Chain A
Amino acid sequence: MAIQRKAIALLSGGLDSLLAVRVIQEQGILVEGVNFFTGFCVEGHTHAIRKKDQEKQKRNNALWAAEQLGIKLHIEDISEEYKDIVLNPQHGYGANLNPCLDCKIFMVGKANAMLNKARQMAEEKGFDFIITGEVIGQRPKSQRKDTMPLIARESGADDRLVRPLCAKLLPPTLPEREGWLDREKLYGFNGRNRKPQMALAKQFGFVDWAQPAGGCCFLTDENYSRKLADLWQSQGRKDYELDDIMLLKVGRHIRPAPHYKLIVSREEGENHFLSGYKKQFNSVNFVSHGGPLTLVDGAPTEDDMLLAARIAARFSKGRDAETVKVELLGKNGVGRIVDVVPMPTDDIPQAWYI
């Protein structure tokens, strides 16, 4: 009996990776998926936080895709190691702070490590090759004809990396040469036109899939990237903690001075999420009127906290009141109650909004 060949697929949950897996399954290969959590993933987070979104369907796209495909899925937390990719991408950033090329090399490299580890241990659970849903020309920076061999080489996967959707435009890989895969049944998709993918989806009977706007993560988002750049600038160095990048997804960010910024909750769900951070940040809590929980990040002085309270009061139910009573709570848990005059909207310079 022929040996059952196995592949590990980078599964984002988008249409391309869904199709890539199915194309390989059609050739009798056993496929398992791997999905990486970088901290910047769009998955669920804002949905889970924002109340108005909570009724929307919340699903993890990669899990959902795996279930459609009937494959196992490994979800790996790479958020710590991933920092180096975001902070020092060898191949630079895309349109925003998205280091797509380095990211792909890193992820394929991780999959390759999983493959090698299993092979060294001569486990029957091992994988023979890696598949991705990459398509030549789909993304201007990371998915080009010349980046394909680069990713294969720098990830260490070399000719064990198969792109089923554009394999025909690339040199034959090991699985093709060994006859595990029939090259004729792979595809030659090229460019930004999605019609061939749509047709293939129809052929396979897929009717529903995730459609991420710019890309698979927040780093492709202009507003998000601006907040991240602001964080680096105010710290005076490029670095971040997981909490920092989570908080960039939440609330209004207002920076009156380089040494502190406000994170003003926009609604109940965010209020609840931010309240989990009260032990790590100074905060403004409303007493006399309803108002948004506001975290103050950085090293604010007492005067800064008063200004922060005045700004936050602008977004409270007491915005037109003469004064508003708030509790300024330190991260040490010590609070003081003060009356502040809400700041007139026009007095908050537009430049403070990040």
Chain B
Amino acid sequence: MSEQQTLDTRGLLCPMPVIKTQNAIRKLAVGDILTVLATDPGVLHDIPAWCRINGHKVLDHSQEGRDIRIRIEVCED
């Protein structure tokens, strides 16, 4: 079964949330879902860009006040 994981990068500034996302995904398998929590609005740009480049899929994202949540599906490398 695919795994669901959450990564909390709140308070960190870009590019740290992207680096942490990258490192978390390296340890996950295809089909797993990673939910990233962040506060730096830069992630709304950088994480989708990182996913496009590396072939992973952003399922959705939402924002409540300063809190941002992005869900990523790990795809074939």
Contacts and interface: CB of A to CB of B under 8 A. Distances in A.
A60 B53 contact: no
Interface residues of B, number: 19
B46 interface: yes
Contacts of B29: none
Given A66-B53, A71-B53, A74-B22, A60 B42 contact: yes
Contact of B45 (A35, A58, A72, A272): A58
B53 A73 contact: yes
A44 B15 contact: yes
A264 B61 CA distance: 34
A72 B18 contact: no
Interface residues of A, number: 28
Residue of A43, A44, A59 ringed by the most chain B CB atoms within 10 A: A44
A67 B42 contact: no
B19 interface: yes
A73 B50 contact: yes
Interface string B50-62: 1011100000000
Contact of B52 (A37, A60, A67, A246): A67
Contacts, number: 68
Nearest to A54: B41
A76 B42 contact: no
Contacts of B30: none
A189 B56 CA distance: 37
B13 A59 contact: no
Contacts of B46: 44, 58-60, 63
A63 B19 contact: no
Q: Tell me whether chain A's interface is mostly helix, strand or loop, or mixed.
A: mixed
B49 interface: yes
Interface in B1-58: 11, 13-16, 18-19, 22, 40-42, 45-46, 49-50, 52-54
Residue of A35, A48, A67, A72 ringed by the most chain B CB atoms within 10 A: A48
A67 B49 contact: yes
A75 interface: yes
Nearest to A77: B19
B16 A37 contact: yes
A41 interface: yes
Contacts of B22: 74-75
A64 interface: yes
A114 to B, nearest CB: 14
Nearest to A273: B13
A83 to B, nearest CB: 17
Nearest to A49: B13
B12 to A, nearest CB: 10
A276 interface: yes
28 contacts: A37-B15, A37-B19, A43-B14, A43-B15, A44-B13, A44-B46, A47-B42, A48-B14, A49-B13, A58-B14, A59-B46, A59-B49, A60-B42, A60-B46, A63-B50, A67-B49, A67-B53, A71-B53, A73-B50, A73-B53, A73-B54, A74-B22, A75-B15, A75-B22, A75-B50, A77-B19, A272-B66, A276-B11
Given A37-B19, A60-B42, 11 more contacts: A37-B16, A58-B42, A58-B45, A59-B42, A59-B46, A60-B49, A63-B18, A71-B53, A75-B50, A76-B19, A77-B16
